[in-house]
Structure 1
Amino acid sequence: MAIGETLARMRKERDLTQEDVARKLYVTRQAVSRWENGETEPSVDMCKLIAATFDMPLMQLLEMPDGDYCQSCGMPFFQESDHGSEADGGRSDDFCSMCYQDGAFVGDESMEDLIEEAAPEMAESCHITRDEAVSFMGALLPHLKRWR
């Protein structure tokens, strides 16, 4: 489900108009309408504000399903080889091959170190700025299993 669809559903569940949402977020009603119609998407920072304003986890707003991405770095699992490995050689359901091998994390970096290392790659692959990637990862990572 797209962010706009999630926003529209959340707004309707709370019995709010687009104008009500716009006032809470300090944007125009037209901006809310464009988000909901999929014409544009709110920025990463705006998504963080939307989630905070409506007291919902950012991951819920972005409709990120459990288990389909690394619980350390947030990378989606596209193929079997993306998964890391457990100590017994089995597949890790939670962590990717870049973060987790043979039942242990590859590096002992802090969350901040991981963000600094991964943000440029995320920015390039997602066609967003490095600052937006840092902001997104800073909001997402604290909710993943490794960092809770």
Structure 2
Amino acid sequence: MKFNTIQHILQNIRTRHNLTQVEFAEQIFVSRQTVSNWERGVSIPPVAALTIIAKTFNMPLPEIVSALEGQQTDKTHTAERQLLVDAFLSLLYRHNGVYCDIDLIIKEAGIAHHHAIKLFNSPSAILQYIAKQLDAQVIAALSTSTTTDPFEMIADYVLPVLYDNNHTLKILYTGHYANGEWLYFLKKVYTKWATPFFENYNLGTAPVSRDFAIDLTVKTTLAIISTWLTQPIPTKPDDFRQTFLHLTHTPISQIVSP
């Protein structure tokens, strides 16, 4: 293993503080499996997670990012995209979810404008990049699923992915921005994913139309997930699993008046 790789740097931070992978994961709000994947080079941590690590363990972020940059196939472009994403999220958080001008994002990232504008020409372009990265992780996780229950599928395969990205998602779910483009994107993706589960929907006995049922299911699921991820410290997915399944299988009347 090279000593300047992101795997080695993260492992060195953890061992220097005498932490197990579980303890390290708890301090930066990701799962133990994610830490294991980072240290084995199976996956690479996003800049949002590296920012938390740098602050938590008093490490200079540029040193960690430079190691990350050296491991990318598209070294310069990938690292700079991540810095722009980080700047976008930072400004979004500071402005209560309201979009900032792309020029301000580029300035925040500290990247030459003429180069950065070729990577992202608008805040929406950055958001789409974040969405695609997250979507790819969810699809990869779901590819190993064997359950036919959609809610168990989410509980076992999707919740861990969302938890690992909670630093980013908490910002996107919070503030005025949560009522706009991000939720529109989520609704579109989840509706497409949920629709096949309603193929045998019985219109003869159902109280509402098929489209209404799909829309209600998607919005309810998103509400549960967003409420979970926007807690000051979200419960670990393994612990939240039973709560999620209980909420999705229990009528609202029973939750309000148990």
Structure 2 length-normalised TM: 0.28
Structure 1 length-normalised TM: 0.47
Structure with higher RCO (Cα < 8 A, 6+ apart): 1
When Rg is computed on C-alpha atoms for both structures, the one with the higher figure is 2
